[in-house]
Amino acid sequence: MNHPLHAKFGIWDLHCHLLGIPGRTPEEKMAGLLEIADRHQIERLCLFFSSTWAKNPTADELRTDNDYVIQAMSHWSDRVLGFCYVSPEHVEASLDEVERCVVNGPMVGIKLWVAQRADAGELDAIIDKASKAKAVIFQHTWFKQDGTQTPGESTPLHLAALARRFPDTHFICGHAGGQWELGIRAIRGLPNVSVELAGSDPTAGFTEMAVRELGASRVIFGSDAAGRSFASQLAKVYGAAISDSDRQAIFRDNLRTLVLGTGKIKA
């Protein structure tokens, strides 16, 4: 069985973790993830932190995780793009990690999760360094309605505050804030911010609203596998009432432009 649009588009997935994939080593898990990605003809995928769920990782945990991701990527450098895990709670260590993993290493971007909110002043030095390295900058965001927002967890409004301080730097608003009707509005006025579609239910209308309010060039596909399926997240692009050229931009071309900008891959 196949989806009617199967193999019609080039697909890059902005957002994967190896957490939850069976395997004894990072390489085994990576092979397992790619085998399933192949069922949807996903060409490339980005790997985020993959060895720890710690909400406030220590400097050592950041380094260990980045080593883990680099090891997982190593056999598949043509298919896997690594993101360096950094935290505003460990500014010096994060700057060193960007130097080690992005400037002098194979990684193409940085991932910011829930250690501290995106409007924290401590982030400025990290963003400055990542921006100079032309790294792709990803910040997790959620607007949680049910009281489960964690103390360091950003909403898109926190990211908007950061993006205003760095108008010449591009930011990706992870999950579009979960409540995408709010998240899209929160960053709408900031042309240096894109939304990613990953990690929420495949609620109809999400992608259509993002394209209407931001333009397809500011919308990026990601899954948040292995916690999410590729399936439910691909559905947001396959199932949306948008043009095929918008679908292609969202599935791959917007992310490819950002990654090409790092100089880490060839056109």
In the complex, least distance from residue 223 CB atom to Zn ion, rounded to whole angstroms: 9
Is the CB of 47 or the CB of 193 nearer to Zn ion?
47
Question: 237 Cβ partners below 8 Å, 6+ apart?
Answer: 197, 207, 221, 247, 250, 251
Which of another protein, Zn ion, none does 1 bind, CB closer than 5 to 8 A by kind?
another protein
What's the rounded Cα separation, in Å, for the pair 253 and 266? Answer: 14
In the complex, least distance from residue 52 CB atom to another protein, rounded to whole angstroms: 19
Which of Zn ion, another protein, none does 178 bind, CB closer than 5 to 8 A by kind?
another protein
DSSP code, position 178: S
Which of Zn ion, another protein, none does 204 bind, CB closer than 5 to 8 A by kind?
another protein
Tokens 């883990």 correspond to 68
In the complex, least distance from residue 42 CB atom to another protein, rounded to whole angstroms: 11
- The residue ranges that bind another protein (CB under 8 A) are 1-4, 6, 20-21, 33, 36, 39-40, 142, 144-146, 148, 178-179, 181, 200-205, 208, 225-232, 234-236, 238-241
The C-alpha torsion from 166 through 257 and 114 to 117, rounded to 10°, is 10
- The residue ranges that bind Zn ion (CB under 5 A) are 224
Distances (CA, A) of 188 to 15, 212, 246: 22, 11, 18
Tokens 């935290």 correspond to 87
Which of another protein, Zn ion, none does 142 bind, CB closer than 5 to 8 A by kind?
another protein
